[in-house]
Chains A and B, each alone.
Chain A
Amino acid sequence: MKRGLLNILIKRIFTSLVLLILLTVFLFFLLRISPGDPAQKFVSPLLSHSLAEKVRASFGLNKPLTEQFIIFIKNLLSGNFGISYQYRMPVLDVIFSFLPFTLILASLSFLIQTGFGFYLSYITFRKNGGILDKLLSKISLVVYSVPSFVLALLLIYVFSVWLNILPSADLRSVDFEDLNFAGKFFDYVLHLLLPVLSLSIPGVIIYYKYLRENMDSENGKNYIAFLRSNGYDENTVIWKHIIPNAINPVISVAGIELGILLSGALITEVIFNLPGMGRLTINAILNRDFPLIIGCTFVSGVLIILVNFFADLIKYKIDKRMVEGI
């Protein structure tokens, strides 16, 4: 059984990789046929025309399209995405200097989302119809339809403008270098508090909604009534039967959510001016930095494929029937 499962998953990951490469190729052509010249950003229009031509040549944009494509494919297969126009560094080096922050932010936010989502749904499930349950079911409706950037602005207004206790943007204070180690750590925590909050609150609500619905629907099923009537302990019923069954569909949601977080929480990073993958990609797009755009898309795609792979693994681990299903 194990081998069959692994084969299927590897096949799936392989097709995803092929798709990713196709997507990258598509992106390559989309960028090349797009209007606008990346070299114009680096050369003043007052300077001579031949200088712009030189810059173009240094980007490798003066060659015919087929030749550019062959070079691109060769580079791609050897894991080289070229040199970023803006940073004048290899694309992967640029990305790896921005990736750690995104990984930290995403994992922090993911832990908070799943933890609180699970905790809230468990608490309200145990105390069905309590005050917290009623309150949360109302709040979840509202928060569910508030876009993340509105929430972020609201948090900034309350905590930075009105109460004036938290910084509204950036990762460090101006006097960061003068602080001691504890001060530096505290500074990071203060600056990360609002972004993590605004990233996590919608996620908490999503997990809460899904888990709560699934737990309720599992609770109404016959086998639970059977277990209860046979005098099983309530804790056993919930922890051994309801939760494992309810959590299974949520895992694929978690895979998608984590994928979105890892590819850069775009809007949050833009609002809070944080050095993450999302803002890197946006800046690359705005500056027409072709190699960096392709590199960012590729790395995000790989991260998403990996996350979905692990989500699938966990899902099959929990529900053995799915192995036969695929």
Chain B
Amino acid sequence: MKKLGLAHLLLLLWIAVLIFRYELFYHISQLVLSVVSGEINILKINPRFYDYLVSFLLFFVLPVAVWKIPALKNIFQKRLTWLNAFLSLFFVIILFAPLLSTSNPDLHYNIKKCKLLPPFSEVFIESSVGENAPADSDLYNYFKSEIINRGISKGAEYYNDGNANEGRRVIFIFGTDEYARDVYSRILYGTRFAFLLGLGSVTLSFLIAFVLGLAAGFGGKFWDNLINRFTEIFLSFPFLFLIIVFLAFFGNSFWVVVLVLGLSGWMGLFKIIRGEILRLKSKDFILSAKMLGIPEYKILLKEILPIILSPLLVNLVLQFGNVIMAESALSFLGFGAGEEYFSWGSMINSGQYYLSTAWWLSFFPSLFLAVSLLTMNRLGNTLEKVFNPESTK
């Protein structure tokens, strides 16, 4: 562990993906070629394909970028620790979810054969020819039907030209759920969803806290008192019920969840920003900057923001963890963003009914959730130690 760098882990991952998913790369490049040559109409392509394409391109561009850009190179030369290993693992999952996932997360396999299979079970799925062929018959056809909209005559042709009467082996790394969907792929896309949602609502919280903090810090005593009272209201009541009422009555969608979680998490950030601004405002260097006639927005951007950024960053990371936890708790209760998103919480929820027969349904999402929360907490603590060395014992 001592001599290993972050680059070693990532190189290992890169090679592993290349070895295990070479078929997928081959199909993607073939499809790209047929799009370029005009064989497939570009308008008929399922938007999902672009997701694959971006990951595909990034997969080959990133190593070159790391090689060429010194800033990135420095990051990759860091020593391997548990923290940055897990962080980069999550980063890889978010960027390359389509390449890593073994099947479409929404795809229902043959429910007779594939329902509630334990982890690492391998199933041979026969391909059948014809217009009603199941999409999962073999990888190439599955992939084509995946990217080309169904019901178009062109699409039906592609079902036929594959390797008919053959099948493919599908391995379910984390097993399958009660609708015969691949748990592993769902968890990978769930990682994407959780982190995106966390990012969105933390950004919202930050914006609210920043604007209110500025108003309280610079707006004079009246605004300061008013906003402080307002914040205390938000701090003193349990808003969980209000959140649930809101989500239950006004429909649940991605943006509503982001909005609600963002609106309920800005109080701590606001207190930090306000406190730091009030503390800095009377400092000599700010006063001298004012005397020199530097406009206030410039003082804010150049003098105050860099100083308050470090305590803020710690809090943002911890808040990020809280949001992921809150989202999965809401999804667990059935008030999440909806079934079309792959939320860990709703996976755990649907798994709890099969706890005695299929433990993997709720175990793997729980594992991912716990590890991501642990990573965020550790990251927050580490950042605090970096920014504020006095707190280390």
A interface list, Cβ under 8 A from B = 16, 19-20, 23, 27, 30-31, 34-36, 141-142, 144-147, 149-150, 153-154, 156-157, 161, 216, 259-260, 263, 266-267, 270-271, 281-282, 285-286, 288, 293, 296-297, 300-301, 304-305, 308
Which residues on the A side are within 8 Å of B377 (C-beta)? 141, 144-145
Does B244 have its Cβ within 8 Å of any Cβ on chain A? yes
Q: Name the CB-closest residue of B to A16.
A: B236
Roughly how many angstroms separate A148 CA and B362 CA in the complex, as a whole number?
A: 14
Does B49 have its Cβ within 8 Å of any Cβ on chain A? no
Q: Is the CB of A267 within 8 A of B236?
A: no
Which residues on the A side are within 8 Å of B329 (C-beta)? 147, 149, 267
Which residues on the A side are within 8 Å of B376 (C-beta)? 145
Which residues on the A side are within 8 Å of B250 (C-beta)? 34-35
Q: Is the CB of A30 within 8 A of B245?
A: yes
Q: Is the interface of B mostly helix, strand, loop or mixed?
A: helix
Does B238 have its Cβ within 8 Å of any Cβ on chain A? yes
Roughly how many angstroms separate A156 CA and B348 CA in the complex, as a whole number?
A: 13
Q: Is the CB of B237 within 8 A of A157?
A: no
Roughly how many angstroms separate A19 CA and B229 CA in the complex, as a whole number?
A: 11
Q: Is the CB of B355 within 8 A of A263?
A: no
Q: Is the CB of B374 within 8 A of A19?
A: no
Identify which of residues 316-373 in chain B touch chain A, using a CB-to-CB cut-off of 8 Å: 321, 325, 328-329, 332-333, 348, 352, 355-356, 359, 362, 366, 369-370, 373
Q: Is the CB of A153 within 8 A of B238?
A: no
Nearest Cβ on chain B to A139's Cβ, whole angstroms: 12
Identify which of residues 204-245 in chain B touch chain A, using a CB-to-CB cut-off of 8 Å: 233, 236-238, 240-242, 244-245
Q: Name the CB-closest residue of B to A154.
A: B366
Query: Given A141-B377, A150-B370, A267-B332, do A216 and B248 touch, yes or no (CB 8 Å)?
Result: no
Roughly how many angstroms separate A279 CA and B332 CA in the complex, as a whole number?
A: 14
Q: Is the CB of A149 within 8 A of B348?
A: yes
Q: Is the CB of A146 within 8 A of B373?
A: yes
Q: Is the CB of B373 within 8 A of A285?
A: no
Which residues on the A side are within 8 Å of B373 (C-beta)? 145-147
Q: How many A-B residue pairs have CB under 8 A?
A: 96
Q: Is the CB of B237 within 8 A of A31?
A: no
Q: Which 8 A-B pairs have the closest CB atoms?
A: A34-B249, A145-B373, A145-B374, A150-B366, A161-B356, A146-B370, A285-B248, A145-B377
Does B393 have its Cβ within 8 Å of any Cβ on chain A? yes
Which residues on the B side are within 8 Å of A286 (C-beta)? 248
Q: Is the CB of B355 within 8 A of A150?
A: no
What are 27 of the A-B contact pairs (CB < 8 Å)?
A19-B233, A27-B245, A30-B245, A34-B250, A35-B250, A36-B249, A141-B377, A142-B370, A145-B373, A147-B373, A149-B348, A150-B370, A153-B355, A153-B362, A259-B238, A260-B238, A263-B241, A266-B240, A281-B244, A282-B244, A285-B244, A286-B248, A288-B249, A300-B238, A301-B237, A301-B238, A305-B236
Which residues on the A side are within 8 Å of B195 (C-beta)? none
Roughly how many angstroms separate A297 CA and B244 CA in the complex, as a whole number?
A: 12
Roughly how many angstroms separate A282 CA and B247 CA in the complex, as a whole number?
A: 12
Nearest Cβ on chain A to B344's Cβ, whole angstroms: 10
Q: Name the CB-closest residue of A to B229.
A: A15
Roughly how many angstroms separate A154 CA and B352 CA in the complex, as a whole number?
A: 10
Roughly how many angstroms separate A19 CA and B234 CA in the complex, as a whole number?
A: 10
Roughly how many angstroms separate A145 CA and B241 CA in the complex, as a whole number?
A: 23
Which residues on the B side are within 8 Å of A270 (C-beta)? 333
Q: Name the CB-closest residue of A to B326.
A: A147
Does B25 have its Cβ within 8 Å of any Cβ on chain A? no
Q: Is the CB of B359 within 8 A of A145?
A: no
Q: Is the CB of B332 within 8 A of A297?
A: no
Which residues on the A side are within 8 Å of B244 (C-beta)? 281-282, 285
Across the interface, B355 reaches (CB within 8 A) one of A145, A161, A216, A305, namely A161
Roughly how many angstroms separate A20 CA and B237 CA in the complex, as a whole number?
A: 8
Q: Name the CB-closest residue of B to A267.
A: B329
Nearest Cβ on chain B to A165's Cβ, whole angstroms: 14
Q: Name the CB-closest residue of A to B356.
A: A161
Roughly how many angstroms separate A286 CA and B362 CA in the complex, as a whole number?
A: 24
Does B179 have its Cβ within 8 Å of any Cβ on chain A? no
Across the interface, A281 reaches (CB within 8 A) one of B241, B246, B355, B359, namely B241
Identify which of residues 111-149 in chain B touch chain A, using a CB-to-CB cut-off of 8 Å: none
Q: Name the CB-closest residue of A to B248.
A: A285
Which residues on the B side are within 8 Å of A141 (C-beta)? 374, 377-378
Which residues on the A side are within 8 Å of B246 (C-beta)? 30
Roughly how many angstroms separate A145 CA and B237 CA in the complex, as a whole number?
A: 23
Query: Given A141-B374, A145-B377, A259-B238, do A153 and B333 touch, yes or no (CB 8 Å)?
Result: no
Q: Is the CB of B366 within 8 A of A153?
A: yes
Q: Is the CB of B321 within 8 A of A145?
A: yes
Max chain A C-beta neighbours (<10 A), residue from B245, B328, B393: B245
Which residues on the A side are within 8 Å of B366 (C-beta)? 150, 153-154
Nearest Cβ on chain B to A158's Cβ, whole angstroms: 11
Q: Name the CB-closest residue of A to B362.
A: A153
Q: Is the CB of A153 within 8 A of B348?
A: yes
Roughly how many angstroms separate A34 CA and B373 CA in the complex, as a whole number?
A: 34
Given pairs A146-B373, A150-B366, 18 additional interface contacts (CB within 8 A): A19-B233, A30-B246, A34-B249, A141-B378, A142-B370, A145-B373, A147-B325, A147-B328, A147-B370, A149-B348, A150-B370, A153-B348, A161-B355, A161-B356, A216-B393, A281-B244, A285-B241, A297-B242
Which residues on the A side are within 8 Å of B325 (C-beta)? 147
Q: Name the CB-closest residue of B to A20.
A: B237
Which residues on the B side are within 8 Å of A27 (C-beta)? 242, 245
Q: Name the CB-closest residue of B to A264.
A: B241
Q: Name the CB-closest residue of B to A288.
A: B249
Max chain B C-beta neighbours (<10 A), residue from A30, A145, A285: A145
Across the interface, B369 reaches (CB within 8 A) one of A142, A147, A282, namely A147
Across the interface, B249 reaches (CB within 8 A) one of A35, A145, A149, A300, namely A35
